[in-house]
A and B are shown apart, each in its own frame.
Chain A
Amino acid sequence: MAEITLIIDGQEVTAEQGKTLLEVAREIGKDIPTICFHEATTANALCRICVVEVEGQRVLQPACIVKAGAGMKVQTRSEKVVRARRTILEMLQSTMDLSDAPEIQQMMVEYGADANRFPGAERRESEVIDDNPMYVRDYSKCLLCWRCVQVCADDAQYTFAINFDGRGFETQIGTFFDKAIPETSCVLCGQCVGVCPTGALKPKREYLLEQGMTPQEIGVLNTGRKQRKQR
């Protein structure tokens, strides 16, 4: 495998050709934060929290997809980078419920992000959708990382049960004409729940426990459902 040399934060680094800046940086112990990135899904570079400054490039570059190149000069914490990361975090905090996203809360602290930076900001609020026996959907907690749509489609399951509603700030994950999950092609494989980083998709049992139900009560619920099914 060919090797290349580049400079990250003033440090000369030798790396395998074809690796991303994120991979190379992590190999040398540099921390570049990520939100939408997940090893199991196609990287779309949409959260932009992993952006770094590459000399000669007009705009910041997403480390999750940009390949390390010979002679590249990369800054992972320049002033521009920090402003972008902090502002993105502040906007997220002003938009959605991050209570189930401890990693992002940690980033907020690290970047000195002000949780109340945007007074009067419109939030993306949504009712909890409890329409199937397997998981609940709380899109107030969704930060649109796209992972659930990706694993439901050609990154894993090829089920294509979910896609997007609206666009821009009003984008939300949704089904065909807002149908309930059991009326869609969903096979309840649970992959979407597995890749959700913020608790927007949650196993039903976990959700019910959080609501204060005891395991016994949940068990009774399930029995009831089974009995109804048999009838």
Chain B
Amino acid sequence: MSEIDLAPVQPAIEQYIPKGRAGLLPALHAVQKIYGWLPEEAASEIAKALRVPLADVHGVIEFYSMFYNEPVGKRIIRVCTDQACALKGGDGLLNHLCHHYDVTPGQTTEDLSLTIESSPCLGLCEQAPVALVDDDAETNISPDFHDYELGLPRSIVYGSIRKLTANCGEGTTTLAKYGEYEGLKKARTLGRLQVIEEVKASGLIGRGGAAFPTGIKGEGAEKAIGKQKYVVCNADESEPGTFKDRVLLSDDPHRVIEGMCITAYAIGASKGYIYIRGEYPYIVPILEDALQEAREVGYLGDHFDIEIRVGAGAYICGEETALFESIEGKRGFPRVKPPFPVTHGLFGEPTVINNVETLCNLPLILTEGAEGYRKLGTEKSPGPKLFCVSGDVTQPGLYEVPFGVTLRELLEMAGGVKGGKSLKAVLLGGAAGAYASSAHLDVKLTFEDLRAAGLPLGSGVVMVFDETRDMRDSLNRLGHFFAHESCGKCYPCQMGTQRQMEILNRVANGKALPEDMIRLQDVGWTMTDASLCGLGQTAGSAVLSAIKLWPELFESGSLPDARVEVKAEKKIIVKTMKPKAAKKSVAKAKTAKKATTKKTVAKKIVKPVKAKAKKITTKKSAARKSVKKR
């Protein structure tokens, strides 16, 4: 290993030192920015400065897939090969890039200029296939891979109402445009307890997936006694197929911030955090600017301020207690509940943690009043709801509708199944959700109707699969996703996601063994019944729903291969993203001749990334304007 100049470490992490261990993730991010990875000597410096045991620092680096303890390329391209992108050629894109750079997924070129990885869902599903090129989103990549958009992704907003998305679709809404925090003003006139009563009366239910009544959370935290109370915005949106929070945060950050201010006022919190997933780096500056604007006019300040925390590639950190652990500078292991966050949350103090969309409802509830708010939606599911529509549908995008529209109505709004094909399935709620079939088209999309139909609302994912799709491929990706994202804490999920992946892989390759269906059911139900947290408890849910809908898919040896390119597929999905694997996979030296030819081809394909990026921002500025429709 060459000598590492440690001089830049100290200035980079100085501001995080007073935070102690809680400063670990930001410090690791800052140092990784300097070296591109986290050398042992630098990690050691961080450990000393923050007073965290060395082994613990290493444990944290190992946990998050976007932290590297081996050298990686100066540029990192993460190609999404998850559900929605797979339907649009994500695998082909990955193959194409790897072929041109003579690497396999997860490898780094020998000159350390580039690393190409396959990635779990990047939250850009409506613009699939996509990739993340360092901190820029590469979206709407054409089938020949030559055309794409790079930079801040578009917001594509449709639907029958525009309440939560009133300011979405035309770039970031500044405070000047957003106007005063009317909801917060109203809250202050009502008084703390009345705000909580109003939210309870509105019937607002959390939009992150767990469907917990928001008012009850606020009430619990208001009553709880602690040294300090916290409000946390869960922006770790990582559920495959979900992108609503990305749109809300990048287009209307003040609505989220106002929602946090209202919550803070109601429960008496003086500190807030926005925990945003590491795969949304392009939103961080938008949030920083918005927070600064809010500080300048006094919405934020000594009484209540908000800090941004950036995740580092761990789906589990969307689980509320794992998210707390992550903010506290630890591995994202979910905690045992009870105690619940309202009494023992972040740093063991009373905490309200809400999803971005949930928080965006609060200003609305206060300005319109609970009664006014309830005019939309149904009795048990009041208000507006965002649905993330993607896959084989004519008009993928973010749809805002009142609770109560049916799946059929929503799909009709989206122009129906693409290419006039018929519907095979809809994945509702994401990877942690369940498959619905055409038999479910007339189910109303509400908490109560979906529950009655045995389907989850989850985070509002509506991913469409047309009649030509082999669902075994989708299942195979689900299997890989959960095996990759399990934290490894509790046994049912740690081993169950692995066994589930192995069996689904056999199924997808037409090599199912006798009794594989029963194995999947035992593993699935064991994870559902016995896992420690929501990840494990839902890791088998979509698979179990598929067994009900299409038992024939799981029969042994009766069907041909699910995919044409089984071999290539296997290569792509193997877990090559682990930092640990990086060293082994540095590409073999190429011949000089080969390298030059590659370079010229490469110029065409990815060199233009930067140059073209500039072009795109100017040339495509018109096209990049978001689609907006009533």
Interface on A for B, CB 8 Å cutoff? 35, 44-49, 51, 59-60, 62, 65, 80, 83-84, 86-88, 91-92, 94-95, 117-122, 143-144, 153, 160-171, 174-177, 184-185
Q: How many residues of B contact A (CB 8 A)?
A: 49
B72 contacts the other chain (CB 8 A): no
Please state if B56 and A163 are interface contacts (CB–CB under 8 Å). Answer: yes
A109 to chain B, nearest CB (A): 18
Shortest beta-carbon distance, B438 to chain A, in Å? 29
Partner of A92, one of B483, B486, B491: B491
User: Could you tell me the distance between the alpha carbons of A51 and B44 in the complex, rounded to whole angstroms?
Assistant: 40
**24 interchain pairs (CB within 8 A)?**
A45-B532, A46-B491, A48-B492, A48-B530, A48-B532, A59-B537, A80-B525, A84-B526, A84-B530, A87-B496, A87-B525, A91-B495, A91-B496, A118-B499, A120-B502, A122-B502, A164-B59, A166-B62, A167-B314, A168-B494, A168-B498, A169-B486, A170-B578, A176-B54
Q: Within 8 Å CB of A95, what residues of B? A: 495, 498
Contact of B485 among A65, A86, A168 (CB under 8 A): A168
Cβ of B497: which chain A residues have Cβ within 8 Å of it? 168-169
Contacts of A185 in B (CB 8 A): 53-55
B526 x A88 contact (CB < 8 A): yes
**Minimum CB distance partner of B331 in chain A:** A164
Partner of A167, one of B331, B490, B523, B532: B331
User: Would A168 and B58 be within 8 Å (CB), given that A59-B529, A59-B530 are in contact?
Assistant: no
Q: Is the CB of A165 within 8 A of B499?
A: no
Q: Give Cα A163–Cα B58 distance, bound, in whole angstroms.
A: 8
B57: which A residues are within 8 A, CB to CB? 176
Whether the Cβ atoms of B490 and A46 lie closer than 8 Å is yes
Q: Are A169 and B498 in contact (CB under 8 A)?
A: yes
Specify which chain A residues have a CB less than 8 angstroms from the CB of B499 in the assembled complex.
91, 94, 118, 121
Give Cα distance in the complex from A44 to B537, angstroms: 17
| Residues of B close to A35: CB separation below 8 A | 491
A57 CB to closest chain B CB (Å) equals 10
For B40, B43, B62, B502, the residue with the greatest tally of chain A CB atoms inside 10 Å of its CB is B62
Q: For the complex, give the distance between the alpha carbons of A202 and B44 in Å.
A: 29
Determine the chain A residues whose CB is within 8 A of the CB of B578 once the complex forms.
Answer: 166, 170
Could you mark each residue 226-268 of chain B with 1 if its beta carbon is under 8 Å from any beta carbon of chain A, else 0?
Answer: 0000000000000000000000000000000000000000000
Over the window 336-372 of chain B, the binary record of Cβ atoms lying under 8 Å from chain A Cβ atoms (1 yes, 0 no) is 1000000000000000000000000000000000000
Q: Whole-angstrom distance from the CB of A75 to the nearest CB of chain B?
A: 13
Asked if B421 is at the interface (CB within 8 A of a chain A CB), the reply is no
Closest 3 CB pairs of A and B: A160-B53, A163-B59, A171-B488
B537 touches A168 (CB 8 A): no
**CA A185 to CA B494, docked complex, whole Å:** 29
B544 within 8 A of A: no
8 Å CB interface, B458-493 against A: 483-492
Flag whether B69 is at the interface (Cβ < 8 A): yes
Q: For the complex, is B522 an interface residue (Cβ under 8 Å from A)? A: yes
When A51-B529, A59-B529 are in contact, do A170 and B492 touch as well, CB less than 8 Å? no
Q: Is the CB of B580 within 8 A of A48?
A: no
Contact, CB under 8 Å: B490 / A175: no
Chain A: minimal CB distance from B20 (Å): 15
Q: Which residue of A lies closest to B496 (CB)?
A: A91
Q: Are A83 and B487 in contact (CB under 8 A)?
A: no
A209 to chain B, nearest CB (A): 30
The chain A residue with its CB closest to the CB of B526 is A87
CA of A153 to CA of B331, assembled, Å:
15
Closest-by-CB residue of A relative to B518 is A117
A185 to B55, CA, bound (A): 9
Residue numbers in A under 8 Å from B541 (CB-CB): none
Question: At the interface, yes or no: B601 with Cβ under 8 Å from chain A?
Answer: no
A59 contact set on B, CB distance < 8 A: 528-531, 537
Known pairs A48-B492, A167-B486 / 20 extra A-B pairs, C-beta < 8 Å: A35-B491, A44-B336, A46-B489, A59-B531, A60-B529, A62-B532, A87-B496, A87-B525, A88-B492, A94-B495, A94-B499, A117-B519, A121-B499, A144-B488, A160-B56, A163-B53, A168-B487, A169-B483, A176-B57, A177-B69
Contact check, A88 vs B491: say whether CB atoms are below 8 A apart: yes
How far in angstroms is the closest Cβ of chain B from A180? 13
Is there contact, CB below 8 Å, between A163 and B55?
Answer: yes
**CB of B181 within 8 Å of the partner chain:** no
Q: Measured between C-beta atoms, what is the minimum distance from A197 to chain B in Å?
A: 13
Chain B 29-53, CB-CB to A under 8 Å as 1, else 0, gives: 0000000000010011000000001
Using an 8 Å CB-CB cutoff, how does the interface string of B5-45 with A read, 1 for contact, 0 for none? 00000000000000000000000000000000000100110
A45 to B487, CA, bound (A): 14
Contacts of A176 in B (CB 8 A): 40, 43-44, 54-55, 57-58
**Residue B513 at the A interface, CB < 8 A?**
yes
Q: Which residues of chain A are near B580, meaning CB under 8 Å?
A: 165-166
Q: Which residue of A lies closest to B503 (CB)?
A: A118
B352 to chain A: closest CB distance in Å? 22
Contact assessment for A167 and B63 in the assembled complex, using a CB-CB cutoff below 8 Å: yes
Chain A residues, Cβ within 8 Å of B522: 83, 86-87
B575 within 8 A of A: yes
Which listed residue, A87, A92, A166, touches B523 by the CB 8 Å rule? A87
Write the nearest CB–CB distance from A145 to chain B, whole angstroms. 9
Q: B487 and A162: CB pair below 8 A?
A: no
Closest A residue to B511 by beta carbon equals: A120
| Chain B residues within 8 Å of A62, by CB | 336, 532
Nearest-Cβ distance from residue A55 to partner chain B, whole angstroms: 14
Question: Which residues of chain B come closer than 8 Å to A122, judged between CB atoms?
Answer: 498, 502
CB atoms of A175 and B488 under 8 A apart: no
Q: Which one of B53, B331, B494, B506 lies within 8 Å of A169 (CB-CB)? A: B494
CB-based nearest B residue for A51: B530
Q: Contacts A120-B502, A164-B331, A167-B63 known; A80 to B529 CB distance under 8 Å?
A: yes
Q: Is the CB of A167 within 8 A of B502?
A: no
Bound-state CA distance A76–B404 (Å) is: 41
Report Cα–Cα, A144/B532, bound state, in Å: 15
Binary flags per residue of B513-556, CB closer than 8 Å to A gives 1, else 0: 10000010011011011111000010000000000000000000
Q: Are A119 and B491 in contact (CB under 8 A)?
A: no
Most A C-beta atoms less than 10 A away, residue of B487, B492, B513:
B492
Q: How far is the CA of A62 from the CA of B494 in the complex (A)?
A: 16
How near does chain B come to A33, taking the closest CB pair, in angstroms? 12
Task: Give min CB distance, A21 to chain B, whole Å.
Answer: 14
Of residues 124 through 166 on chain B, the ones whose CB sits less than 8 Å from some CB of chain A are none
- Our pick among B55, B69, B494 for the contact of A171 (Cβ within 8 Å) is B494
A48→B532 CA distance, assembly (Å): 8
The CA of A195 and the CA of B593, in the complex, are separated in Å by: 59
The answer to whether A160 touches B513, judged by C-beta atoms less than 8 angstroms apart, is no
The answer for the CA separation of A151 and B232 in the assembled complex, in Å, is 32
Closest to B39 in A: A177
Q: Are A164 and B63 closer than 8 Å at their CB atoms?
A: yes
Tell me which residues across on chain A come within 8 A of B531, comparing CB atoms.
48, 59
Q: A86 to B491: give the CA distance in the assembly, Å.
A: 12
Name A80's closest neighbour in chain B (CB-CB).
Answer: B529
Closest chain-A Cβ to B512's Cβ sits at a distance in Å of 11
A177–B58 touching, CB < 8 Å: yes
Contact in complex: B525, A83 (CB < 8 Å): yes
> Which residue from chain B places its CB closest to the CB of A161 in the assembled complex?
B55
* Complexed CA–CA distance, A9 and B69 (Å): 51
Q: How far is the CA of A35 from the CA of B530 in the complex (A)?
A: 14
Contacts of A174 in B (CB 8 A): 55, 58-59, 62
